[in-house]
Structure 1
Amino acid sequence: MKIYQALLAALFSLVLAACATTQGSTDAPVFNPDAQAMTQYHIGVDDLLEVSVWNNPDLSVKVPVRPDGRITVPLIGDVVAGGKTPDQVSADIKERLKSFIRDPQVAVIVTELRSHEYLLRVRVTGAVRNPVSIPYHQGMTVLDAVLAAGGITEFAAPDRTELYRKTKSTTSSYAVQLGQILQDGKLGTNYPVQPGDVITVPQRSF
């Protein structure tokens, strides 16, 4: 009986340890730096597009998206672009050009993101030298954003830095050990940022 109880106690301890390990892992933020990759970008009004038709330079144009969400392409006229991805617009143009050109090869590139400019930004606030709102670039990290803000001030409490990320239903915050990143090169919390993120560096208490 004693052996049986000891085995039960050992098994219970193992289960508790496993639960504790699983619970702790949920504290680590899961980041996807490609969550808003430009391949999924939806074109908006005022965006500037470049339409290229291979071997047909006369059909290749640079055009803004009009308030009605359309662009004008030589030979085929108006094409709906607003609300679609560049690949979808490219496919529409290609399909309509088939009536005039054999096997047209079309590429649509967004050269200026005018409609979504503020959705595709990262903001740095608090005890930094120059609070900024900077355009998001793929691969950007917390350190990149803080350096773009001129670094921290002498009044900062860098290891209490927070990264705030808004989703459809809630806003999550993640602790950033900015002091360790800047002073010791410990990059464990130098998270990749995403469009819309806000990094806040608090002031230290006096």
Structure 2
Amino acid sequence: MMLDRRHLLLTFGAAALAGCGAIPRPEPIVGDAAFTDIGFADWTDAEPEYLLYPGDEIEVALPTAAELTRTIRVGPDGRIALPLIGQVMAADRTLMELSQVVSDAYVGKLVRPVVEVSVRTAGPINIWVDGEVRTPGVYVMAGDISAYQAVVQAGGLLPSAKAQSAALIRRGPGGSRMLKVIDVRAIRGRTDALRRGDIVFVPRSTLGELAAFFTQFKAALPIGFSYSINGANGSGFANF
């Protein structure tokens, strides 16, 4: 299922790459000198702690005040509404962090504000596919898919695509950004599944030019893949 392209987080304009000279493609190693000044963290495949997103249905339980327990969905703005304390930001927080925030908010209102937060139903798992594909956009993952399958879902590669120099951008530890260079044609059948908020970008130029492009537009890349962020051109809004 593809969302409206107006909501695409990254607007990688082909015109921005025009006029760039050919630069030899460096080895596809994260942390390569070509990406030194972009601010990407070292790549890790470690599973991060779950962060809440809009659309997640959660239970906020208060064992010492059961009448205040609520099953509630995180709103599009990332907030939830709770009795006595009102609006609380939930998105982009771990379950433990939200439990602590809510518990602190209830101090002075309850004698023993013990709070337990759990996920009942996870919301949509969105990924971004952009660049030299036939239908760039934001897609909802129906299950575990690879970068190659995501490109197929986006209509496949254009003849101008540099499939061997695609970029996979992912949220890393502590909200950092990680980038790995991949060949989307070489990972058919592999079980490396994309994760929520992943960005697959297929360029039409060399990797060196891609590095220059990322440097120029690094402000448009999501620092924390937070629940909402302005588009690269200052307009548009993307909700996870």
TM range (shorter): 0.3 to 0.5
- Quick check: which one's helix share is greater? 1
* TM-score, normalised via structure 2 length: 0.42
Pick the structure with greater CA Rg. Answer: 1
Q: Which has the higher contact order (CA 8 A, sep 6+)?
A: 2
* TM-score, normalised via structure 1 length: 0.47
